Chains A and B, each alone.
Chain A
Amino acid sequence: MIRFWPILALVACAILPWTPGLPSFWVSLLNYIGISSILVVGLVVLTGIGGMTSFAQASFMGFGAYASAILSTRYGVSPWLGLPAAIVVAAVGAATIGAVTLRLRGYYLALGTMAVSVSLYFLVANLDFFGRNDGLSSIPPLMLGDYRLTDGRVYLTLVWAMLVAVVVATNNLLDSRLGRAIRALRGGALAAASFGVNTTRTRMLAFVYAAVLAAIAGWLYAHLQRSVNPTPFGLNASIEYLLMAVLGGAGHVGGAVLGALLVTVINDLLQDFLPKLLGQRGNYETIVFGMILLGVLQFAREGLWPHVFRGRVQRREIASAPPLNRRARPVGGSAILAVDHLEKRFGGLVAVNDLSFAVGVGEIVGLIGPNGAGKSTSFNLITGVASPSAGTVALFGQPITGLPPPAIARHGVARSFQHVKLVPGMSVIENVAIGAHLRGQAGALAAICRRDRAEEAQIFAEAARQLDRVGLGQLADRPADSLALGQQRVVEIARAMCLDPVLLLLDEPAAGLRHAEKAELAALLRRLRDEGMSILLVEHDMEFVMGLVDRLVVMDFGIKLAEGPAEQIRRDPAVIEAYLGIA
């Protein structure tokens, strides 16, 4: 039943407009609700899921509307061809704005689009090409053969069928390799980057996708209204769409439709009621909308959707699939990671000073030291989070110094985080699947058309295998944030294993674990080593480290204090002094 909802919805789109007694006023309102919903679905992907916001969505709608209007009115192009034109124009516009803002912090996109939106409004309102403030009229209607789509009821079918298609496409996109990357942007951008996700490109994908949906909405609007002018594409309209997304539930595709419905209806009621109350005409509804928006942010930040429709935990079926390609395994005996004279200065402070050590294939090396010894900084230098002031890091003799995290992931280095970084809204197995990001190729279009299913099955089979391997297979469908901290740390290891790494870097994996959990973790790491994995771990917990590692590197005040087997380190006078002070 749930699987076939799009077909049922399409049938409803065709029949319901012909309900006897449906007032034409409602037909027109429902047309606008459908058009707004299409735009707001894009905003949900961008803002609620991707964690960015744009105040140019109405402008992108205008791109679509004006592109099709100009082509069909002035050049006699078929209005149907206006749709691809609308999409291309909006996508190019979004890509341009995105290129200059998406590498910067989040509020630059918001403020940049705000300025662009005002700028475009005045541009269109002052150029003859766009018909200035009056806009363009007598736009030809859409045609089916010789039939003109001018009846609001017929148009209603078109609008809502498009909305169904957009919702299906969006759900498909979100449930894909790139979709998981978009969902990881909010709260887990660094983690995603550490598994090879190009976060700037992922942000761009979400932004362009949202703009394309806005353009589709604009195209529908132009040929429904049959005239366009700058006002409905201004900044205030963009703000109203944002209100729809936030009120309905910015994290849910369904929230877009709910929000568009509520805001459109409330807007209509207020525009009737408020001028009567206040005795003059004006945009008084903005007061109420401002207050609603503020109230939602304070009391129901997730919007209304989660309160109306409680999501159920969905079980993901894991089909058996051929295994993903694996990278060549290193042969034993050689050094896999070589850190050579590494140095990091913060102003006058030398956090890491002349650090050199190596990790051999199939070896567990522990990096230990008192607080402030420079362990975490060294870890950040190796994983590409920070770049060293001097020295080199090499993998199989190949330098990887200063490479960004995605590039380091591509070399087969996987990591975990001291402060667990799982995407809260996603299930455990989806989080683990992010680890396999680099082992798939499917792009956005393939995802939207569901041409990525074979690859997805492989990715999830691998994720399930790694979850079973760490002993958390039964928790696969639980939301990641519902797990205990210790379990979340283990999920991070499963995610790291999904990269098919040659080297595993673990940042304090035993922190916050109970005694029995530590023993299990140690057993797991030994098992991985015996299968040929090389592991470097930064750790505080001496008891955990002593029984596990092959070799220890001890740091204090940024320099290497000692290196050797655990037993030897335990007796080293310099190490004892650093940890216990001089007796």
Chain B
Amino acid sequence: MDSTIAAILVQDGIVNGAIYALLALSLVLVFAVTRVVFVPQGEFVAYGALTYAALDTGTLPGSLWLLAGLGAAAFLAGLAQRRPIFGLALSSLVLPAAIIATSWLLVPSKPGILANALLSLAIVTPIAPYIYRIGFQPLAEASVLVLLIAAVAVHLALMGLGLVFFGPEGSRASAFSAASVSVGDFSLSGQALWILGLTGALMIGLYGFFGFTLLGRALRATAVNRLGARLVGIGTAQSGSIAFTLAGAIGALSGILVVPLTTVYYDSGFVIGLKGFTAAIIAGMASYPGAVLAAVLVGVLESFSSFWASAFKEVIVFTAIIPVLLWRSLRHAAIEDDDE
């Protein structure tokens, strides 16, 4: 291996790592606010990717009907939870209808990359809060273990629904830009620049959101102390819903960024999401900067192992978690009490 190849591998790793970093951030966020280990994160990646790929070819994506169906289910769940009917109808019936109408009008004219990306986000993101209302809100007081099993259940259902609405074929979209930048010996593709730029911008945006806005601070308060946050008027359900919305949007965006690079299938999301988890676990499910750093490491490890032993790249990436857990085990005293 010479330095050029190494440079390319590092670049690949950082680009992939940026995606994992986004996912790791949202996993840490959802876990902190709701105690849900958000296993279905990967499905949002796949949905975002496949929705964008469909729009890219000028066809209506199957996720539109999924959005409508889950919206209706969330409406019913909201009725059962006795939520005010007007807001409920607006968020879970009118919103999907408006998104479907917009797509129906826009898509045939192939409105361009930016419109497609925004439309994909609009289609996929609301699915996350619907899922929260249907699946997790009724379980809000359950143990982490129960919430984890529920998350696996949602992953299972969403993966099956992905097969129904997108079909078994994989899709790939054209790159955001064909341009590339050359620096000395190696060149950086336009797509890579987009990924790094957007990831960086999003991280700064999240930092601002959590540091300086009331809503962001409310989420942090919930993460630190659920009961205390509720006593000062921050609704647990509302915080959970916002956390899920952010996670859905981050997942969908990751998918949109990834699908010009690689072919995505309805079930590809899980393994991508699991790499986000690997990073989040390395960071102890708690630290945001730690998660970003770990994600870049995971990406670089992946690109080097796919160069040396491509068949074993997943094996190497997922086994890397073992020494990290061992180190954490040796550092921490045994946990005697339950996690809540």
| Beta-carbon contact of B148 and A118 below 8 Å | no
Listed A/B pairs (20) with beta-carbon separation below 8 Å: A47-B145, A53-B149, A99-B329, A100-B322, A100-B325, A101-B329, A104-B335, A108-B281, A114-B277, A115-B277, A189-B337, A236-B156, A239-B152, A283-B160, A286-B160, A289-B153, A290-B155, A297-B139, A385-B336, A404-B334
Contact of A482 with B by CB under 8 A: no
Contact of A371 with B by CB under 8 A: no
| Beta-carbon contact of B139 and A104 below 8 Å | no
Contact of B237 with A by CB under 8 A: no
| Beta-carbon contact of B149 and A297 below 8 Å | yes
Residues of B within 8 A of A280 (CB): 167-168
Q: How far is the CA of A393 from the CA of B268 in the complex (A)?
A: 57
Contact of A85 with B by CB under 8 A: no
> Which of A119-127, A355-363, A575-583 faces chain B?
A119-127
Contact of B332 with A by CB under 8 A: yes
> Can you list, as one digit per residue, whether each of B305-316 has a CB less than 8 Å from chain A (1) or not (0)?
000000110110
Residues of B within 8 A of A286 (CB): 156-157, 159-160
3 nearest A-B pairs in the assembled complex, by CB-CB distance: A290-B157, A287-B160, A293-B153
Residues of A within 8 A of B285 (CB): 107
Q: How far is the CA of A110 from the CA of B135 in the complex (A)?
A: 20
> Can you list, as one digit per residue, whether each of A541-569 has a CB less than 8 Å from chain B (1) or not (0)?
00000000000000000000000000000
Most chain A CB within 10 A, of B139, B315, B317, is at B315
Contact of A262 with B by CB under 8 A: no
| Beta-carbon contact of B334 and A200 below 8 Å | yes
Most chain B CB within 10 A, of A108, A120, A199, is at A108
| Beta-carbon contact of B139 and A298 below 8 Å | yes
Residue of B nearest to A51 (CB): B145
Residue of A nearest to B317 (CB): A119
Contact of B314 among A122, A236, A239, A291 (CB under 8 A): A122
Most chain B CB within 10 A, of A243, A282, A298, is at A298
| Beta-carbon contact of B160 and A284 below 8 Å | yes
Residues of B within 8 A of A242 (CB): 149, 152
Contact of A193 with B by CB under 8 A: yes
Q: How far is the CA of A199 from the CA of B337 in the complex (A)?
A: 9
| Beta-carbon contact of A100 and B314 below 8 Å | no
Please provide the chain B residues from 147 to 198 with a CB less than 8 Å away from any CB of chain A in the complex.
148-150, 152-161, 163-164, 167-168
Contact of A118 among B154, B160, B271 (CB under 8 A): B271
Residues of A within 8 A of B312 (CB): 122-123, 126
Contact of A103 with B by CB under 8 A: yes
| Beta-carbon contact of A100 and B277 below 8 Å | no
Residue of B nearest to A405 (CB): B336
| Beta-carbon contact of B154 and A294 below 8 Å | yes
Contact of B321 with A by CB under 8 A: yes
Interface magnitude class on chain A: 35 or more
Most chain B CB within 10 A, of A236, A280, A282, A287, is at A287
Residues of A within 8 A of B161 (CB): 287
Contact of B65 with A by CB under 8 A: no
Contact of A53 among B148, B277, B317, B338 (CB under 8 A): B148
Residues of B within 8 A of A47 (CB): 145
| Beta-carbon contact of B135 and A108 below 8 Å | no
Contact of B142 with A by CB under 8 A: yes
Residues of B within 8 A of A193 (CB): 336
Q: How far is the CA of A284 from the CA of B162 in the complex (A)?
A: 10
Q: Count of A-B contacts with CB under 8 A? A: 165
Residue of A nearest to B277 (CB): A111
Most chain B CB within 10 A, of A97, A116, A119, is at A119
| Beta-carbon contact of A119 and B164 below 8 Å | no
Contact of B203 with A by CB under 8 A: no
Contact of B217 with A by CB under 8 A: no
Residues of A within 8 A of B334 (CB): 103, 199-200, 404
Residue of A nearest to B319 (CB): A119
Q: How far is the CA of A100 from the CA of B330 in the complex (A)?
A: 8
Q: How far is the CA of A107 from the CA of B144 in the complex (A)?
A: 7
Known interface pairs A112-B325, A290-B153, A293-B152; A118-B335 also in contact (CB < 8 Å): no
Residues of B within 8 A of A484 (CB): none
Known interface pairs A100-B325, A190-B337; A297-B157 also in contact (CB < 8 Å): no
| Beta-carbon contact of A118 and B314 below 8 Å | yes
Min distance, Cβ A485 to any Cβ of chain B, angstroms:
20
| Beta-carbon contact of A107 and B315 below 8 Å | no
Contact of A187 with B by CB under 8 A: yes
| Beta-carbon contact of A104 and B157 below 8 Å | no
Contact of B158 among A52, A104, A122, A290 (CB under 8 A): A290
Known interface pairs A106-B144, A286-B160, A290-B158; A115-B274 also in contact (CB < 8 Å): yes
| Beta-carbon contact of A284 and B148 below 8 Å | no
Contact of B2 with A by CB under 8 A: no
Most chain A CB within 10 A, of B138, B148, B318, is at B318
Contact of A105 with B by CB under 8 A: yes
Q: Spell out B's residues near A (CB within 8 Å).
A: 37, 134-135, 138-139, 142-146, 148-150, 152-161, 163-164, 167-168, 271, 274, 277-278, 281, 285, 311-312, 314-315, 317-319, 321-322, 325-326, 328-329, 332-339
The secondary-structure label for the interface of chain A is helix
Min distance, Cβ B267 to any Cβ of chain A, angstroms:
9
Residues of A within 8 A of B281 (CB): 108, 111-112, 115
Contact of B160 among A111, A189, A285 (CB under 8 A): A285
Contact of A246 with B by CB under 8 A: yes
| Beta-carbon contact of A284 and B149 below 8 Å | no
Contact of A278 with B by CB under 8 A: yes
| Beta-carbon contact of B150 and A294 below 8 Å | yes
Residue of B nearest to A119 (CB): B318
Q: How far is the CA of A251 from the CA of B149 in the complex (A)?
A: 15
Residues of B within 8 A of A122 (CB): 311-312, 314-315
Q: How far is the CA of A280 from the CA of B168 in the complex (A)?
A: 10
Residue of B nearest to A52 (CB): B145
Residue of A nearest to B275 (CB): A115
Min distance, Cβ A127 to any Cβ of chain B, angstroms:
9
Residues of B within 8 A of A288 (CB): 160
| Beta-carbon contact of A289 and B156 below 8 Å | yes
Beyond A126-B311, A126-B315, A287-B156: 19 further Cβ-contacts under 8 Å? A52-B145, A99-B329, A105-B335, A106-B339, A108-B281, A108-B328, A112-B321, A112-B325, A115-B274, A115-B321, A119-B315, A190-B336, A239-B152, A288-B160, A289-B153, A290-B154, A293-B150, A293-B152, A298-B139
Q: How far is the CA of A294 from the CA of B160 in the complex (A)?
A: 15
Contact of A186 with B by CB under 8 A: yes
| Beta-carbon contact of B156 and A290 below 8 Å | yes
Known interface pairs A103-B334, A105-B339, A187-B338; A278-B149 also in contact (CB < 8 Å): no
Residues of A within 8 A of B150 (CB): 293-294, 297
Contact of A301 with B by CB under 8 A: yes
Please provide the chain A residues from 246 to 304 with a CB less than 8 Å away from any CB of chain B in the complex.
246, 278, 280, 282-291, 293-294, 297-298, 301
Residues of A within 8 A of B138 (CB): 298
Residues of A within 8 A of B139 (CB): 297-298
| Beta-carbon contact of B277 and A278 below 8 Å | no
Min distance, Cβ A300 to any Cβ of chain B, angstroms:
12
Q: How far is the CA of A262 from the CA of B322 in the complex (A)?
A: 35
Known interface pairs A284-B163, A286-B156; A107-B37 also in contact (CB < 8 Å): yes
Q: How far is the CA of A293 from the CA of B146 in the complex (A)?
A: 11
Min distance, Cβ B312 to any Cβ of chain A, angstroms:
6
Residues of B within 8 A of A284 (CB): 160, 163-164
Residues of B within 8 A of A289 (CB): 153, 156-157
